[in-house]
């Protein structure tokens, strides 16, 4: 009897061990820019590793990489080159819609709300109605990036219902740094560029560059710019790790809110940025920059994408786009 009980106990222990076995290696891909500051803090402070260990799991090895544009990040997730990606909310919604029966892609949490500015060095362009047929507008990924979608939303607001694609053929794909250089040196082919922090603040220091619009104007207030997302397989195969990542990201937000100066210094160090830490700190302290894991105004993006035929299936609620960890928070 004792032998049988001992054997049963060993089998049970082994079963629990197998059930708790989760990945020890995580590959995370992200974009450059202060919009990804929470991810930078996660990286620098080892917050994910610590959160995983607190849950009784071995310390994971995390590989970090940077890719430009939501399309490239989606491709990395689809191909299995990344377990989690931090990218714009619209590339995530588009992938969620088309991969529901396969990848089951959803977000773990938002990466905060920050405005994006459409900038131009051409004095004749003060609104998007001033663009002519020869003008070119730089966005990080044509047709899929949040910048491209906000431009479509702005076009519909300016030109009328059904006119959302008016400027789409004039967009060109270009990373933020190259677009900034093109405007600041007036040496490229683009007339305007949709940017993010800190690139947009750098460009606005040039007296020849001005803001045409802010994405907050288009959305009617603060909106989530980027999210951290994964496939259902990664999330469901690694429930404790996924919960730890959620907790770590929430902790990163608290660190940024509590000490913007330290967060700015982390950004400069990790990104090996030539920017003055005080300049970055000013951006972090901007009251328009909301560092929270709770999504804001993402339903407006989803509704627009569905109404314009860019996704076939719409989320009924914003929570449809997220895994369960954030379900108890009040988002939109």
Residue 6 has pLDDT above 50, yes or no: no
- Residue 20's pLDDT is 58
- Residue 1's pLDDT is 47
Residue 4 has pLDDT above 60, yes or no: no
Domain spanning 2-114+224-326: which CATH class is it, in words? alpha beta
Mean pLDDT, the chain, rounded, equals 92
Q: Give the domain ranges of the chain.
A: 2-114+224-326, 122-219
**What secondary structure does DSSP assign to 59-115, as a single string?**
PPEEEEEE-SSHHHHHHHHHTTS-SEEEEEHHHHHHHHHHTTTTT--EEEEE--B--
Q: What percent of the chain has pLDDT over 70?
A: 94
Q: Using one digit for the tens of pLDDT, what is the confidence trace for 223-277?
A: 999 999 999 999 999 999 999 999 999 999 999 999 999 999 999 999 899 999 9
Q: Please list the alpha-helical segments (H only) found in the chain.
A: 2-20, 37-45, 47-54, 70-78, 89-98, 146-159, 176-185, 199-204, 215-219, 232-237, 239-258, 260-270, 277-285, 298-307
128 pLDDT band, cuts 50/70/90, is: very high
Q: How many whole angstroms from its chain centre is CA 47?
A: 18
17 pLDDT band, cuts 50/70/90, is: very low
Q: How many whole angstroms from its chain centre is CA 24?
A: 24
Q: How far is it, in rounded angstroms, from Cα 117 to Cα 212?
A: 7
317 pLDDT band, cuts 50/70/90, is: very high
Residue 11 has pLDDT above 60, yes or no: no
- Beta-sheet pairing, 192-194 with 117-120: antiparallel
141 pLDDT band, cuts 50/70/90, is: confident
Cis preceding-peptide flag for 130 (omega within 30 of 0): no
Q: How far is it, in rounded angstroms, from Cα 116 to Cα 214?
A: 6
Q: Tell me which of 5-19, 123-137, 139-153, 284-298 is least confident.
A: 5-19
Closest CA to 39 of 279, 242, 215, 263: 263
Contact (CB, 8 A) for 92 and 105: yes
Average pLDDT over residues 158-185: 93
Q: How far is it, in rounded angstroms, from Cα 93 to Cα 97?
A: 6
Residue 122 has pLDDT above 50, yes or no: yes
143 pLDDT band, cuts 50/70/90, is: confident
- Residue 69's pLDDT is 77
Q: Using one digit for the tens of pLDDT, what is the confidence trace for 319-329?
A: 999 999 998 88
Contact (CB, 8 A) for 105 and 157: no
154 pLDDT band, cuts 50/70/90, is: very high
| 186 Rama sector, left if φ>0, alpha if ψ -120 to 50, beta otherwise | left
Residue 30 has pLDDT above 60, yes or no: yes
pTM of the model: 0.89
């Amino acid at each position: 009897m004792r032998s049988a009980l001992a054997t049963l106990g060993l089998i049970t222990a082994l079963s629990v061990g197998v059930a708790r076995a989760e990945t020890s290696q995580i590959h995370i891909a992200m974009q450059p820019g202060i919009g990804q500051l929470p991810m930078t803090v996660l990286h620098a402070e080892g917050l994910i590793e610590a959160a995983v260990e607190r849950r009784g799991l071995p310390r994971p090895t995390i590989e970090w990489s940077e890719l430009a544009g939501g399309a490239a990040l989606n491709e990395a997730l689809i191909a299995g080159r990344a377990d989690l990606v931090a990218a714009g909310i619209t590339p995530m919604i588009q992938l969620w819609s088309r991969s529901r029966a396969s990848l089951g892609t959803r977000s773990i949490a938002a990466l905060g709300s920050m405005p994006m500015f459409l900038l131009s060095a051409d004095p004749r362009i003060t609104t998007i109605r001033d663009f002519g047929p020869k003008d070119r507008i730089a966005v990080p990924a044509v047709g899929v990036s949040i910048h491209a979608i906000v431009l479509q939303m702005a076009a519909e607001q300016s030109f009328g219902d059904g006119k959302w694609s008016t400027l789409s053929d004039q967009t060109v794909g270009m990373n933020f740094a190259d677009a900034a250089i093109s405007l600041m040196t007036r040496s490229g082919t683009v007339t305007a560029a949709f940017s993010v922090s800190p690139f947009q603040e750098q460009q606005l220091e040039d007296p020849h560059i001005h803001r045409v619009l802010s994405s907050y104007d288009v959305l009617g207030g603060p909106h989530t710019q980027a999210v951290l997302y994964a496939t259902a397989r990664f999330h469901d195969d690694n429930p404790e790790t996924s919960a730890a990542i959620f907790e770590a990201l929430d902790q990163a937000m608290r660190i940024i809110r509590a000490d913007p100066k330290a967060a700015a210094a982390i950004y400069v160090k990790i990104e090996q940025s030539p920017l003055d830490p005080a300049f970055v700190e000013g951006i972090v302290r901007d009251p328009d920059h909301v560092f929270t894991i709770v999504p804001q105004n993402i339903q407006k993006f989803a509704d627009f994408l569905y109404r314009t035929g860019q996704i076939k299936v719409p989320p009924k609620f914003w929570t449809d786009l997220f895994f369960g960890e954030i379900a108890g928070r009040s988002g939109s």
